[in-house]
Amino acid sequence: MAKKNIGPVLALYPCPVIVVGAMAGGKPTWTLAAHAGIMAHSHLMVSLVQAHYINKGIRENNKLSVNVVDASWLKEADRMGTVSGLKTDKSECFAWTMGENGAPLIDDAKVSIECEVDGNYELENFDNFICRILATYADESVLNGQEKIDYHTFKPVLFEFPTYEYFLTGEKIGNCARMNR
């Protein structure tokens, strides 16, 4: 089967939808993001357009939270991508709790990851924050008997960039490293 070259298109979508939280001006602020990824078992990367208001708070405090979105609060999360923190105070948009390490966590998020920024790789008007994971908080409703997140129960929302559509994670189709046994 021949493949057609469609150009230098980023084709790694869909990606998990997150709401990033940080303190700015002594108050929490939030932004919707889908550009986040794993860098190592101890680190993740969050990529945000440099013009975002939240970036200043992240740079000042070197702390942020990654709040993983599920369908139960998608509408509220989506709003964080349409309202500018420069023009609107977002501090009251969510009930929140301060994490043990100084990053605000969204109470409705069933999974939140508290991070410390180890570095910032600036590229094409994006801040790519390299973040060390300090703590992961999970609602007991999404944990299995081994205290691990159960993705049969917790279904993160995914975002597909070219069409701006949201999806839910799907059904299990196999076991990693056991498909050829």
pTM, two decimals, is 0.96
* Residues 80 and 96: beta-carbon distance below 8 Å: no
Residue recorded with tokens 């059904």: 171
Q: What is the pLDDT of residues 98-123, one digit of tens each?
A: 999 999 999 999 999 999 999 999 99
- Per-domain boundaries in the chain: 16-168
| Average pLDDT score, the chain | 96
The model's confidence at residue 170, banded by pLDDT at 50, 70 and 90, is confident
Which two three-digit tokens encode residue 163? 């069409």
Q: What is the pLDDT of residues 38-93, one digit of tens each?
A: 999 999 999 999 999 999 999 999 999 999 999 999 999 999 999 999 999 999 99
Query: What pLDDT does residue 181 have?
Result: 75
Q: What is the pLDDT of residues 25-51, one digit of tens each?
A: 999 999 999 999 999 999 999 999 999
CATH topology of domain 16-168: Pnp Oxidase; Chain A (2.30.110)
Q: Given a cut of 90, is residue 180 above it in pLDDT?
A: no
* Residues 46 and 173: beta-carbon distance below 8 Å: no
Task: Say which residues have a Cβ less than 8 Å from residue 6's Cβ, sequence separation at least 6.
Answer: none
Task: Say which residues have a Cβ less than 8 Å from residue 140's Cβ, sequence separation at least 6.
Answer: none
DSSP 60-107: HH-EEEEEE-BGGGHHHHHHTTTS-TTTS--TTSS-EEE-TTS-EEET
